[in-house]
Amino acid sequence: MIKYLGVEKWGLWKSLCPPLVVAGPCSAETEEQVYGTAAALKAAGIGVFRAGLWKPRTHPASFEGVGERGLPWLVRVQRELGMRVATEVANAHHVEQALHAGLDLLWLGARTTANPFAVQEIADALQGTDIPVLVKNPVNPDLELWLGALERLERAGICRIGAVHRGFSAYGEMKYRNLPQWQLPIEIRRRCPDMPVLCDPSHLAGRREYVREIAQQAMDLGFDGLMVESHVCPEQALSDAAQQLTPAALGEMLAGLVVRQEDTENPVYKANIDELRSRIDAIDNELVDLLGLRMEISAQIGEYKKQNNITILQTGRWEKVLERVLARGAEKGLDAGFLERIFTAIHRASIDRQSNVMQDGESQGENV
Ligand code: PEP
Ligand code: MN
């Protein structure tokens, strides 16, 4: 079950755990919808309730949230159901209202993270408080922008900060509403190993039938938790109707998730994994040695071309190399795109090496 997931990583966040699932409607719409959803989520084992009060929407005619009118509804969930409550803030006024109402957790939406002025304004308004803040990735896949927003909050003295992967905007037909680019949150995890990294499968998916597979992928990758949209009556939701789950469906989904551990003390597993890893290490060494050898031969070719006054590139040679490599790779079940990327990089390095060989001595020649 999700509640055992990475709890130690949360450090100061422990007060929010377990479970590490933040769930609730995209938007707070009415007091009944908020309270009804929260009560059903609590029954499904959820401890942290989310609801958007101020909604950043693409079109001005869309429902833009109930604003501060909904704050007492969240306070009621907190008081009567004992749940932690969270909302999205996009400017200093939102922060002041949320802090004044005593909410437990705030998050920055994808459109806000993309705007350093807005993030700084929020960070300034948060100065001197210790409320936990989650930062969704910016709409565009810009790792530094995401890290920059986290850093602004950190500099404001907020020490309970988490990142949320909700996918990236892309143009054109796609299976999911937003493109998952898992390498970005994985890089965040590498650079900030103590910071919780959550996944928002709802905004990634865009459709409720895909939420489960994305949530499972997040578990497979060792994410620390999930932020999931849930509504008592998803079809009637005023925003993001297609991606919200009923609290019962959410409970069922969470119960079915396979949560993987980062490590185990099982000696059989350890022995086998160590053996496999030493084979991988040996192969990596061989790959590097072979690349060194290939580069040496490439330099010799460069020298030979120079002596014979031949250009570095010959029409058709690179296509032939690639064709041969891809055919051999296909026999080994290797992905063509993957091989092409690797060999393009090798080819470029090889051209650079030959260019150096060609130029070497020419400039010396000029000096003589
Ligand atoms: C939301 O959580 O409802 C929301 C607006 O998300 P995002 O910022 O990821 O689009
Ligand atoms: Mn939403």
Q: What is the pLDDT of residues 297-330, one digit of tens each?
A: 999 999 999 999 999 998 899 999 999 999 999 9
Which ligand has an atom closest to residue 200 CA? 1
Residue 4 pLDDT class (50, 70, 90 cuts): very low
Q: Mean pLDDT over residues 267-275, rounded?
A: 94
Task: Work out the mean pLDDT of the chain and round it to a whole number.
Answer: 91
What's residue 18's pLDDT? 39
Q: Rounded to an integer, what distance in angstroms lies between the CA atom of residue 335 and that of residue 340?
A: 9
Position 157 pLDDT exceeds 80:
yes
**Which residues contact ligand 1 via a Cβ below 6 A?**
26, 52, 88, 109-110, 136, 166, 200, 203
- Give 245 Cα–ligand 2 centroid separation in angstroms: 12
Question: In percent, how much of the chain has pLDDT > 70?
Answer: 93
Cis omega (within 30 of 0) for bond into 19: yes
- Residue with the smallest CA separation from ligand 1 atom 1 is 26
What's residue 363's pLDDT? 52
What's residue 115's pLDDT? 98
Position 155 pLDDT exceeds 50:
yes
Which ligand has an atom closest to residue 204 CA? 1
Evaluate whether 44 touches 250 at the Cβ level (below 8 Å).
yes
What's residue 201's pLDDT? 98
- Give 339 Cα–ligand 1 centroid separation in angstroms: 36
What's residue 61's pLDDT? 87
* 237 φ/ψ angles, rounded to the nearest 5 degrees: -60, 145
In ligand 1, the atom with minimum distance to the C-alpha of 164 is 9
Q: Which amino acid is at 83?
A: M
- Give 106 Cα–ligand 1 centroid separation in angstroms: 12
Position 1 pLDDT exceeds 80:
no
pTM of this structure = 0.83
Question: What's the chain's length in residues?
Answer: 368
Residue 21 pLDDT class (50, 70, 90 cuts): very high
What's residue 14's pLDDT? 44
Q: Which of 166, 202, 214, 243 to mutate to test the pocket of ligand 1 (most atoms within 8 A of CB)?
A: 166
| Number of CB atoms found within 10 A of residue 236's CB | 11
pLDDT digits (tens, 9 = 90+) for 117-150: 999 999 999 999 989 999 999 999 999 999 999 9
What's residue 362's pLDDT? 63
Q: Which of 58, 66, 133, 203 to mutate to test the pocket of ligand 1 (most atoms within 8 A of CB)?
A: 203
- Residue with the smallest CA separation from ligand 1 atom 3 is 26
Q: Which amino acid is at 243?
A: Q
